[in-house]
Amino acid sequence: MVDQQNLNALKTPGAVFFIFGATGDLARRKLFPAIYSLYREGKLAEDFAVIGVARRPRSREEFHDDLYNSIQEFCRYKVLDTAHWNRFAEHFEYKSLDINNIDGYHELREQTEVLEKRYGIPGNRLFYLALAPELFGSVSVNLQKGGMLDSAGWHRLVIEKPFGYDLLSAQKLNEELSHVFKEEEIYRIDHYLGKEMVQNIEVIRFGNAFFEPLWNNKHIANVQITLSETVGVEERGGYYDHAGALRDMGQNHMLQMLTMIAMEPPSRLLPEDIRDEKVKVLRSLRPYASAAEVEENVVRAQYTQGESGNQKLPAYREEDKVDPNSNTETYFSAKVLVDNFRWAGVPFYIRTGKRLPVKTTEVVVEFKNMPTNVYLGQKHTLEPNLLVIRVNPMEGIYIKINAKKPGTESQIEPLAMEFCQSCQVGINSPEAYERLIHDAAEGDSTYFTRWDEVATAWSFIDRIAQAWKQNPGDIKHYPAGSWGPQEAHDLLAKDGFHWWPVNGQDEDNVIWIKNQG
C-alpha cells in the first residue's frame, strides 16, 4: 500500500484511456489487470476513464463482467470488496465500433467529451492499440479524421508489437503513423522493457563499482541470453506461423535485452540519452555478410512430437491454425558480435524457443579465466566466474565464485552468492504492463522503443530472414520438451564454450549449484 504523502507523486495525470481490442486476449490477460493494479496502488486516482473499443456488441454490464473476470483470473491483486470494485468499474465504458467506420469515431468523441467533463479531465487521451498490426495504420488515420485528436490535452498512441514484418513494412507503418502522430507521441511496446529485472540491469551495471570496471572484452568471455518457454503456440498459431521465433522474440525482446547489457552508460538518465546509447549498440551489431555466415552463426529449428513429465506434446505442425507442412522456426539461437571498443571479440549467444523444458529468462555473463591459474596441475578445476541475472519467472541475481571447500585441505568448489528478489516476503513486483501503461500516461518513453531502434533491429534481423528464405527446408528439429537441436550446442562448442544451465539446474534438472546456507 502506498502512503498518502507519496500518492500525488505516483499518480498519473487525468486522462481517458482507449483500449482498442478490448474484447481480445491481450486486454483480458494483461491490460485490464494492469489498470486495476495501478488503481489499487494509488497510481491512478479518480480522474480517469477507460473506453473499451471492439466490434462485438457488449452492454456496459457485460463489459464490467468481462473486466471482473479478467482481474480475478489474471491480476496479482484480487478484487477487494464490492464498494471498492464498483468505484473502479464505474470508470469503464464500452463502445462497439468497427475501426473502419468513421461515423463511429464521431460518436466515440461525444462519449469521450461527456466523460472528460464528468471526471474533470483536460482532454488528455491515450490510445492503446491492442489490435492486429494490419489495423494500426487505419486506426490512427481515422482517429484524426474522426476528431479524436482535437482536444486540448496531450494525445499518445501506445502500439503493440509486432511493429512490421520486416524493415520495409515497418517503414511503411511508421510513415502512416507519422502523418498523424509525432515520434514523441508514439509509444512502441516491448513488454520485456517493462520487466523489473530488465530495468534492473541498468542499476546493476551502473550502480556498482565492482561490475563496471570489468564490463568489457578484457574480462568478459561471453554473454548468454536465454528466453525459453514451455508453452507451444496456443491459440496464436495463425499469427505465429507467419512470424516465427526470430520475428516474434528476436527482433524485439532479445535484441532489446542485448542492448541493455551492452550499452555505454548514458550521460544523463533521460529517455533520449538512454535510447541514444541503445541504438548505438544496435548499429554496432556485426551484420552477417552472406547466407553462409548466417548458417554458421544462426541455428533455426522446429519442435516435433515430444513429452514433458508424463504429458505427450504435439508437433508444431499439428498445432491449431498451423500449416501442416510449415517450416516456421519455433527456436533459434545465434552468435552475435558487437563491433565496438568495449565488446570487440566477445560473443553474445542468444536463444529462444517454444516447448523447451523450463520457462525462464536469464542472462549469464561469463568472465574470463584468471591470467595465471596458480591451482593448475594440482587436481583443482577453477570454474569461470558468472554473473547471472534472472529476469523471469524468478527475479534476482547470483554470482558464482570459487572458494575453498570448508573442512578440506585445499579443495576448491564453486559457490553461489544469491539474491532472490522474488523470494522476499512483501515484494510483489509489478507486471511489465503496469509499468509501461503508467509510464506512457506519465509521458516517460524510456522503456519504449524509438523508431531508429526498431529500424536498426529490423535491418539486422532481415539478413537472417532473407538467408533462411533461400532455403526454407533447411530447418533443424527438436523434440518438444527438449533443449533444442544439437547444432545450438555446437554453436558454442566451436568457440570452446557451452550453454550454462538455466535456473541453476542442468539439462536433466539436476541441481547444478548448491544454495549456500
Ligand X SMILES: NC(=O)C1=CN([C@@H]2O[C@H](COP(=O)(O)OP(=O)(O)OC[C@H]3O[C@@H](n4cnc5c(N)ncnc54)[C@H](OP(=O)(O)O)[C@@H]3O)[C@@H](O)[C@H]2O)C=CC1
Residue count, binding to ligand LXAUTJHC (CB under 6 A) = 5
90 lies in the site for ligand X, by CB under 6 A: no
Nearer Cβ to ligand X (23/222) = 23
Burial bucket for residue 256 (CB in 10 Å: 0-12, 13-18, 19+): buried
Minimum Å gap between C-beta 392 and ligand LXAUTJHC is: 6
Residue 161 in marked binding region: yes
Using alpha carbons only, what angle is made at residue 253 by residues 298 and 353, rounded to the nearest 5 degrees?
Answer: 50
Task: Give the integer Cα–Cα distance in Å for 480 and 195.
Answer: 27
Q: Which residue has the cell 594440482?
A: 378
CB of 438 vs ligand X, minimal distance in Å = 18
Instruction: Render 321-386 in DSSP notation, one character per residue.
Output: TS-TT----SEEEEEEEB-STTTTT-EEEEEEESS-SS-EEEEEEEEPPPSS-TTTTTT--PPPPE
Contact pattern from residue 391 through residue 420 relative to ligand LXAUTJHC, giving x for each residue in contact according to CB under 6 A and a dash for the rest: -x----------------------------
Q: How far is CA 406 from the centre of its chain?
A: 42
248 known ligand binder: yes
SS3 35: helix
Q: How far apart are CA 445 and CA 182, in angstroms?
A: 13
What distance in Å separates the CA atoms of residue 362 and residue 390, rounded to the nearest whole number?
Answer: 5
Tell me which residue has its CB nearest to ligand X.
24
> Could you say which DSSP state residue 410 is in?
S
CA distance 318 to 291: 29
Residue with smaller CB distance to ligand X, 329 or 418: 329
Best CA proximity match to 160, nearest among 194, 123, 200: 194
Cα 240 → chain centroid: 16
The partner in contact with residue 415, picked from ligand X, ligand LXAUTJHC, none with C-beta cut-offs of 5 to 8 angstroms by kind, is: none
The contact pattern for ligand X, residues 8-37, with x = CB under 6 A and - = no contact, is: -------------xxxxxx-----------
d(CA 170, CA 134): 11
* Residue 253 a catalytic site member: yes
* Eight-class DSSP state of 457: H
Contacts 24+ apart (CB under 8 A), 110-115: 111/51, 112/16, 112/51, 112/148, 112/151, 113/151, 115/16, 115/49, 115/51
Beta strand ranges found along 229-314 (DSSP E) = 298-304, 306-308, 311-313
Q: Which of 253, 380, 477, 498 is catalytic?
A: 253
Which of positions 228-287 make contact with ligand LXAUTJHC (CB under 6 A)?
A: 229, 248-249
Nearer to ligand LXAUTJHC, 248 or 395 (CB): 248
Q: At what angle do helices 255-262 and 271-284 cross, to 10 degrees?
A: 100
State the SS3 of 250-266: HHHHHHHHHHHHHCCCC
Nearer to ligand X, 343 or 433 (CB): 433
Minimum CB separation of residue 234 from ligand X in Å reads 9
Question: Which residue from 15, 44, 51, 54 is in contact with ligand X, where contact means CB under 6 A?
Answer: 54
Q: Are the beta carbons of 333 and 484 closer than 8 angstroms?
A: yes
103 is in an annotated binding site: no
Q: Is 26 annotated as a binding residue?
A: yes
Q: Is 15 annotated as a binding residue?
A: no
The H or E element spanning position 476 is strand 476-479
The reply on whether position 151 binds ligand LXAUTJHC by CB under 6 A is no
Residue type, 386: L
What residue 301 binds from ligand X, ligand LXAUTJHC, none (CB within 5 to 8 A, per partner kind)?
none
Q: How far is the CB of 255 from ligand LXAUTJHC (least distance, A)?
A: 13
Residue (248 or 462) nearer to ligand X, CB: 248
Interaction pattern, residues 105-144, with ligand X; x per rule: CB under 6 A: -------------------------xxxx-----------
The only residue of 47, 66, 116, 160 in contact with ligand X, by rule CB under 6 A: 160
Q: Which three cell numbers stand for residue 435?
A: 509499468
Any known ligand binding at 301? no
* Total site size for ligand X, rule CB under 6 A: 18
Contact 162, 251 (CB under 8 A): yes
| Annotated binding-site residue? 160 | no
Q: Closest distance between ligand X and the C-beta of residue 173, in Å? A: 12
Of ligand LXAUTJHC, ligand X, none, which one does residue 392 interact with (CB within 5 to 8 Å by kind)? Answer: ligand LXAUTJHC
Parallel, antiparallel, or unpaired for β 396-404 and 412-420? antiparallel
Residues 58-117 that bind ligand LXAUTJHC (CB under 6 A): none
Interface with ligand X includes 99 (CB under 6 A)?
Answer: yes
Q: Which residues bind ligand LXAUTJHC (CB under 6 A)?
A: 229, 248-249, 361, 392
Q: Which residues bind ligand X (CB under 6 A)?
A: 21-26, 54-56, 98-100, 130-133, 160-161
For the annotated binding site for NADP(+), the residues are 21-28, 55, 98-99, 161
**Hey, which residues are catalytic here?**
253
For the annotated binding site, the residues are 21-28, 55, 98-99, 161, 191, 195, 229, 248, 354, 359
